[in-house]
Structure 1
Amino acid sequence: MRRPRRPAAVPWDRTVRSAVAITAALVGAHALAGPAGVPVAVAGAVCSVNGDHSGPARERAARFAAVLAGGAAGLLLGRSAPSPGWGQVACMVAAALVAGLVGSARPADQLFGLKLMVLTAIGTGLGHGPGAARTVALYGLGCAPMGLLIVAAGCRNRRAPAPPQGPSPGSARGPVRGRPEWRAALRLPLCVGTAAVLAEVLRPDHAFWLPLTAALAFRPADASVLRRVGDRVAGTVLGVPAAAVAAQFLSGWALVLLAALVGALLPGATDLSYALHTALASVVVLVLAVPGLPSGGAVLTARLTDTLLACAVAVAVGHPWRRRPAV
């Protein structure tokens, strides 16, 4: 008889850091830059939370630096693209190519590529928002609370006796690239580029969301494209209606409480399921970090349709090309 699966332990360290980081970024951005500065700052906070883990402070610092550098580079690239226009497609393909090329490197390098790709998409969607320098500054402001928490943890560790440690999971060198790795690396820009072209044709007014979703749904190294896509769709179906309700009825300090609550739930939900992670991230991003968010049924229709289209592209591009295991 199979024993019931034990529930995963709550990652209390990451739970506290996530709640503090997202809440502090929201309040700090509103105080220092006003409502217009909140979306990019919250995006920075969510990226820093997603890059956090429970390892040594040195590894966490390396991952944080990758999130900060990749996101800043992505915003600069995205803001440099003509808006709207096919230049945005070229920028998205370039960012996805870099992300694909570092896909089998160290975890910090993978984070750099992912945030480069994601923030390029967000940067192209800012329209007539803040300029490139101000956008990067706001992103850094959103990442700053997590950076301060990492510095504080490092200071505590230096005062404590250091136990012996083995090699870190991210210290090994990645595999030497051959033809299969290059083919896998090229699937990501093909996937994101296809989604970006569809967005330019179908949704020129909100062209960033479709390639952004494709970038998050598709992973060249993922063992199951179909499972990840299924989780992405399920999480969106759960999260988008909740976000639409929250955007309709919450304002002021209620949004601060929402950020703290979702921030606290995000690390544990991420450990349990990518679908739960997507649902909670949808609430934070759609309520706080997407400029020009439509209301009511427009949210449900546009976001769900874009998710289905992006996931269909991820399956069409990614699944048939997967390597079969050697016999």
Structure 2
Amino acid sequence: MPRPDRPAAAPPGRRIPWDRTVRSAVAITAALLGAHALAGAAGVPVAVAGAVCSVNGDHSGPVRERAVRFAAILVGGSAGLLLGRTAPTPGRGQALCMVLAALAAAVVGFARPADQLFGLKLMVLTAIGMGMGAGPTSVRTVALYGLGCVPMGLLLVLARLRGRPAAGTTDRPARAVRSGPARRDAVLRLPLCVGTAAVLAELLRPEHAFWLPLTAALAFRPADPSVLRRVGDRVAGTVLGVLGAALAARTLSGWTLVLLAVLVGAVLPGATDRSYALHTALASVVVLVLAVPGPPSDGRVIAARLVDTLLACGVAVAVGHPWRRRPAAH
């Protein structure tokens, strides 16, 4: 079963998904340049977050299904930013916001992949919105996120006007948690996981409290039976991505660093098809270089990101693995 943030694997013999690779490069570059032109450097981080989210939800299926996924990303991410901006300062309010976002994601996220994407972006952008502190207003933040999503939306419109839907991985139904007890169990575990991570962040690192619950939201899936493998991939990918971003920041500067992030973002679709660890590594480079405050070459930033990742993944395992229901013996 493909994950909502990972389209089905490419057919044998198709090594590079060129259609998605081109769209990714165009979308991220256009979002970056457009945000810089309209809002200056301060507007780039949120716009890039929107572009990366829209790229992560892209796939090679029919235009209509891609449009549904895009709408889920746009609406879910915007709602998450609005929720996150209601609690811009560390404290109980931020932990409560993350619990509410996770609860909403758990309630709606067991049907189509688009519903899961809505819930995932709701949680992720809630964390990012909180991490912006007393920065731009809620309306401006949502507008910048939408601006980052615009290039992918225009590409969808262009594909629709051309009238030639791409052949490939269709939007398969997600695994549903149908039984009452199993669904209630999943609805409880996701908010517990993300809420625990948010409380830990407030206690240990209130000045950068968003990364820990954000990582927990990405590492834990109520309907995914491979919690341990996903957590291992998340840890390995984040370590590689943080170290790669730090190395890039030490050797590159200015627009060359931005160019690197755009190029890395362009290969995200192919990486997503092959390995969650590789996808995490590349996405971490883009996020740390363009969308997260604080220089990634700072040793304290590197250490904080790695420690938070380990803590968040530990929470995901502690909450998700022991509670998993085992089939009854016959």
Q: TM-score, normalised by structure 2?
A: 0.91
Aligned equivalents of 2:158, 2:166: Cα separation in 1:
19
1:53 aligns with 2:59: yes
1:101 aligns with 2:104: no
Aligned residues between the structures: 317
Secondary structure in 2 matching 1:324: coil
Report Cα offsets for 1:182-212 as digits up to 9, x if no partner.
1112111000000000000000110111000
CA apart distance, 1:164: 12
Secondary structure in 2 matching 1:118: helix
After TM superposition, the structure 1 stretch with the greater mean CA deviation from structure 2, 176-185 or 316-325, is: 176-185
The answer to whether the Cα contact below 8 Å between 1:22 and 1:259 also exists between their aligned partners in 2 is no
- What is the match of residue 247 of structure 1? 249
- What is the match of residue 48 of structure 2? 42
Aligned equivalents of 1:28, 1:326: Cα separation in 2:
56
- What is the match of residue 274 of structure 2? 272
1:318 aligns with 2:320: yes
Code of the aligned partner of 2:207:
D
CA apart distance, 1:174: 4.9
CA apart distance, 1:249: 3.3
- What is the match of residue 9 of structure 1? 15
**Residue in structure 2 matching 1:217, options 199, 219, 224:** 219
- What is the match of residue 91 of structure 1? 97
CA apart distance, 1:293: 4.0
CA apart distance, 1:168: 5.6
After TM superposition, the structure 1 stretch with the greater mean CA deviation from structure 2, 74-83 or 7-16, is: 7-16
The answer to whether the Cα contact below 8 Å between 1:192 and 1:215 also exists between their aligned partners in 2 is yes
The answer to whether the Cα contact below 8 Å between 1:48 and 1:143 also exists between their aligned partners in 2 is yes
After TM superposition, the structure 1 stretch with the greater mean CA deviation from structure 2, 247-256 or 84-93, is: 247-256
Code of the aligned partner of 1:316:
A
**Residue in structure 2 matching 1:74, options 60, 76, 80:** 80
CA apart distance, 1:297: 1.4
CA RMSD of aligned residues (A): 2.1
CA apart distance, 1:248: 3.0
- What is the match of residue 3 of structure 2? none
Percent identity of equivalent pairs: 77
Aligned equivalents of 1:228, 1:242: Cα separation in 2:
21
The answer to whether the Cα contact below 8 Å between 1:27 and 1:256 also exists between their aligned partners in 2 is no
The answer to whether the Cα contact below 8 Å between 1:51 and 1:111 also exists between their aligned partners in 2 is yes
- What is the match of residue 134 of structure 2? 128
Aligned equivalents of 2:14, 2:311: Cα separation in 1:
33
CA apart distance, 1:18: 0.7
Distance change >3 Å, CA 70–CA 177, structure 1 → 2 = farther
Distance change >3 Å, CA 98–CA 268, structure 1 → 2 = same
Aligned equivalents of 1:10, 1:307: Cα separation in 2:
30
After TM superposition, the structure 1 stretch with the greater mean CA deviation from structure 2, 218-227 or 132-141, is: 218-227
- What is the match of residue 3 of structure 1? none
- Structure 2: segments with no counterpart, 5+ residues: 1-11
Please list, as runs of the form range in 1=range in 2, the aligned pairs for 1:90-239 lying within 5 A after superposition.
Answer: 90-157=96-163, 160=164, 169-170=172-173, 174=176, 176-239=178-241
Distance change >3 Å, CA 173–CA 194, structure 1 → 2 = closer
Distance change >3 Å, CA 133–CA 326, structure 1 → 2 = same
Q: TM-score, normalised by structure 1?
A: 0.92
Code of the aligned partner of 2:149:
C
Distance change >3 Å, CA 93–CA 304, structure 1 → 2 = same
After TM superposition, the structure 1 stretch with the greater mean CA deviation from structure 2, 71-80 or 251-260, is: 251-260
Code of the aligned partner of 1:220:
P
The answer to whether the Cα contact below 8 Å between 1:103 and 1:221 also exists between their aligned partners in 2 is no
The answer to whether the Cα contact below 8 Å between 1:51 and 1:64 also exists between their aligned partners in 2 is yes
Code of the aligned partner of 2:92:
W
The answer to whether the Cα contact below 8 Å between 1:96 and 1:117 also exists between their aligned partners in 2 is yes
Distance change >3 Å, CA 82–CA 144, structure 1 → 2 = closer
Distance change >3 Å, CA 322–CA 175, structure 1 → 2 = closer
- What is the match of residue 262 of structure 2? 260
Secondary structure in 1 matching 2:292: coil
The answer to whether the Cα contact below 8 Å between 2:262 and 2:286 also exists between their aligned partners in 1 is no
- Structure 1: segments with no counterpart, 5+ residues: 1-5
Aligned equivalents of 1:21, 1:108: Cα separation in 2:
20
Aligned equivalents of 1:295, 1:243: Cα separation in 2:
7
The answer to whether the Cα contact below 8 Å between 1:23 and 1:259 also exists between their aligned partners in 2 is no
